[in-house]
């Protein structure tokens, strides 16, 4: 099976590092023209040099900046809402500021960007596909991750509603739900072996995910090979949620 995205324009948020950066490279290899949105200018400059993608710098925690970035991207066929943050805090010390920022980036930005992109798809009658980067943290509770788990649970539900309302316009919307993935975020939250070892022990395949494990699933869900798949949450977790 060969996944080709020639002639498609893809928008990837949070493209500067980690999973987003891997997705940009893979979608470009599959033939898509990629528009990469991220916060750090330097990451975007190196990405543009490596991949030849278009770039837009924006802080998606700001609702207006998120809307402007989506509008600046032009017509888009494939959207990946990947930007996300994690600010681990024990529940009793969960701050309102960290909660609001987590929800703003992980859920609100995905909603705003998807609205702009979906309106364009509907106006052009082009159809399209979207993938939201959720997490196993939407499916189980994880200590010190109250805001993150809540935001990813909300993202799963946003995805289902989008799939319902956008399906009649031939727009498919899905989530992928990775386990711990070895990116800058994954290493920040799980770098301490006292935390990572109990988590690893619950993964039947015995390892954390690498960015390509996630990127391949995203490319499949965006492609016409997944034409009958919409509204799902797809664990990429080595069996973690099977236990
Ligand atoms: P990462 O290594 O921290 O990279 C995240 C990227 O998103 C960075 O380029 C970052 O830019 C960008 N970003 C963050 N906040 C932004 C904002 N407000 N505006 C614009 N760009 C922003 O994270 P990752 O591990 O690749 O995670 C990607 C997605 O997968 C997230 O949604 C995350 O929740 C999800 N996920 C991750 C894991 C994991 O273990 N790593 C597991 C399951 C799901 P800056 O560096 O410039 O801020």
- What is the domain-level CATH number for residue 28? 3.40.50.720
With a cut of 90, say whether residue 243 has pLDDT above it.
no
Looking at residue 196, what is its pLDDT? 92
Mean pLDDT value across the chain:
97
Helix 146-166 crosses helix 109-124 at what angle (to 10 degrees)?
10
| Residues 130-152 as b or e (16 or more Cβ within 10 Å = b) | bbbbbbbbbbeebebbbbbbbbb
Name which residue sits closest to atom 1 of ligand 1, judged by CA. 185
Residue 188 domain-assigned (yes or no)? no
**Model pTM score:** 0.98
φ and ψ at residue 39, rounded to 5 degrees = -95, -40
pLDDT, mean of residues 10-16: 99
Q: Which of the following is catalytic: 148, 187, 216, 225?
A: 148
Residue 199 domain-assigned (yes or no)? no
Residue 57 domain-assigned (yes or no)? yes
Residue 197 domain-assigned (yes or no)? no
Distance CA 126, CA 103 (A): 30
With a cut of 90, say whether residue 76 has pLDDT above it.
yes
Residue 71 domain-assigned (yes or no)? yes
Residue 196 domain-assigned (yes or no)? no
pLDDT, mean of residues 105-122: 99
pLDDT, mean of residues 180-198: 92
Ligand 1 lined by 84 (C-beta under 6 Å): yes
Instruction: Residue 159: give the domain boundaries.
Output: 9-183+211-235
Is 216 marked active-site?
A: no
Ligand 1 lined by 132 (C-beta under 6 Å): no
Residue 191 domain-assigned (yes or no)? no
Name which residue sits closest to atom 3 of ligand 1, judged by CA. 185
Grade residue 34 by pLDDT with cuts at 50, 70 and 90.
very high
**Structural domain total, the chain:** 1
Residue 194 domain-assigned (yes or no)? no
């Amino acid at each position: 099976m060969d996944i080709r995205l020639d002639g498609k324009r893809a928008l990837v948020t949070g493209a500067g590092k980690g999973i987003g950066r891997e997705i940009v490279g893979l979608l470009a290899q599959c033939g898509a023209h990629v528009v990469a949105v991220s916060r750090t200018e330097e990451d975007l400059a190196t990405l543009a040099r490596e991949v030849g993608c278009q770039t837009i710098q924006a802080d998606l925690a700001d609702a207006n900046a998120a809307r402007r970035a989506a509008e600046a991207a032009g017509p888009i066929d494939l959207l990946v809402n990947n930007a996300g943050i994690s600010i681990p805090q024990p529940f009793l010390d969960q701050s309102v500021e960290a909660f609001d920022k987590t929800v703003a980036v992980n859920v609100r930005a995905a909603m705003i960007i998807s609205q702009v992109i979906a309106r364009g798809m509907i106006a052009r009658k082009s159809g399209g596909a979207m993938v939201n980067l959720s997490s196993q943290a939407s499916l189980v509770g994880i200590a010190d991750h109250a805001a993150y788990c809540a935001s990813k649970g909300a993202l799963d539900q946003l995805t289902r509603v989008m799939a319902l309302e956008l399906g009649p316009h031939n727009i498919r919307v899905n989530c992928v739900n990775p386990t711990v993935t070895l990116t800058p975020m994954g290493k920040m939250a799980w770098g301490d072996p006292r935390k990572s070892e109990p988590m690893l022990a619950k993964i039947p395949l015995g390892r954390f995910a690498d960015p390509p494990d996630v990127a391949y699933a995203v490319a499949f869900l965006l492609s016409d090979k997944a034409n009958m798949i919409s509204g799902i949450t797809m664990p990429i977790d080595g069996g973690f949620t099977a236990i």
